[in-house]
Amino acid sequence: MENLQAIKQRFGIIGNDIQLNRALEKAVRVAATDISVLVCGESGVGKENVPKIIHSLSHRKHAKYIAVNCGAIPEGTIDSELFGHEKGAFTGATQDRKGYFEVADGGTIFLDEVGELPLTTQVRLLRVLENGEFIKVGSSKVQKTNVRIVAATNVNMQDAIAKNKFREDLYYRLSTIEIFLPPLRERKEDIHLLFRKFASDFAQKYRMPAIRLDENAVRILENYPFKGNIRQLKNLTEQISVIEENRMISTSKLQQYLPNNFGNLPAVVDQKSNADFATERDIMYKILFDMRNDINDLKKLTSELIDKGSIEEISEQNHQLIEKIYGGPSNSDSNIEVLNIPQRISQEEEYDYAETIDEDETLSLQEKEVEMIKKALEKNHNKRKLAAKDLGISERTLYRKIKQYDL
């Protein structure tokens, strides 16, 4: 049996990630058997290499190997493609046709994107897995086939089962052995290796020197999330190889080719805009806190004056309070209305007065809160997540307040 490094060289697999090595080891071990295998992983991680490895190391290696993209075949014709059809089975069926399961008898079939199979086709596939039997479309004759099935999917099969989009019994038949290929963002140490390999390949293809990355650009590349995985990295390398004249790629040049979803990369932001908004927000907070303190002083003064009951003292302390709030001495010509409180207030009136102050305070704070929420939403183009971050609250709290204030 070939060792792991030899298999990587044979199939052009680059990387030394632990998860990748574990997946390849499982493929090598299961190859000698006829067990069904399900390869899982995101789109673009290289799932198509696993069935090739399994087939080439199995006793079926001299028989047919057929790869079928289940998501690319229309629902109305996929049964015919997989199992064949009889002449006259449907409009356009002018002659008998062999399906992939008949053609690949004794070999291996790779069903890519198996999660996209229609439910009716899943029933037929389950029968093949259970006893090797199938029936052509338009026929009543049962035929036998001896094929090894390796399937692959990039969807969450448990979710698909829960939504009745995939049969649970078929899932367990396919996933006797499950092999998981990690996404590229979990293989950070392999990213630069793959980039260099692709750069070398494209240099030979286009007959030009290979591109290279400076140290900072390497770190940027390794921290990029690569939602398209290896396929995205390969396309990125080809773009840069063809377009850039300078073969040493800097950080700024690399970022021109990376989409804006940088993930955990250092992002370039509008510092002035953020600073302006932060300053305005701080001012608003200060006003709110000052208002609360002033109202609390008024409450305290009211309580003391009710206890003392002296009009002269009321007038004097009113002027002192106004000087404190407005930062200057009060005078008779001022337009500021001095707080006048009756000398004697009944217990019921005292309660009503205190309630009025609380309502005014609540209303004022509410208006400021609504104003700040509107500004944050406007600044972030109604994106609640960003607005909540600017306001210093959770997105859930912001959503509740939006509903509360009918914004």
pLDDT tens for 77-129 read: 999 999 999 998 888 888 999 999 999 999 999 999 999 999 999 999 999 99
Of the listed ranges 57-66, 145-154, 351-360, the one predicted with least confidence: 351-360
User: Does 245 have pLDDT greater than 50?
Assistant: yes
Amino acid at 22: R
SS3 163: coil
Give the model's pLDDT for residue 88.
87
Which residue has better confidence, 72 or 389? 72
CATH class entry, domain 4-182: alpha beta
pLDDT of 384 reads 82
Yes or no: domain 185-255 corresponds to CATH 1.10.8.60: yes
Which token pair is 36?
């069904």
- Identify the pLDDT of residue 265: 45
Cα torsion 290, 295, 300, 302: sign = positive
pLDDT of residue 296: 75
Domains of the chain, residue spans = 4-182, 185-255, 271-404
pLDDT at 342 over 70: no
Contacts of 173 (CB under 8 A, 6+ apart): 36, 126, 129, 130
pLDDT, tens digit, 9 for 90 and up, residues 220-237: 999 999 999 999 999 999
pTM, two decimals, is 0.62
Alpha helices of 207-260 — where are they, by DSSP H?
Answer: 215-223, 229-243, 251-255
What is the Cα Rg of the chain in Å? Answer: 36
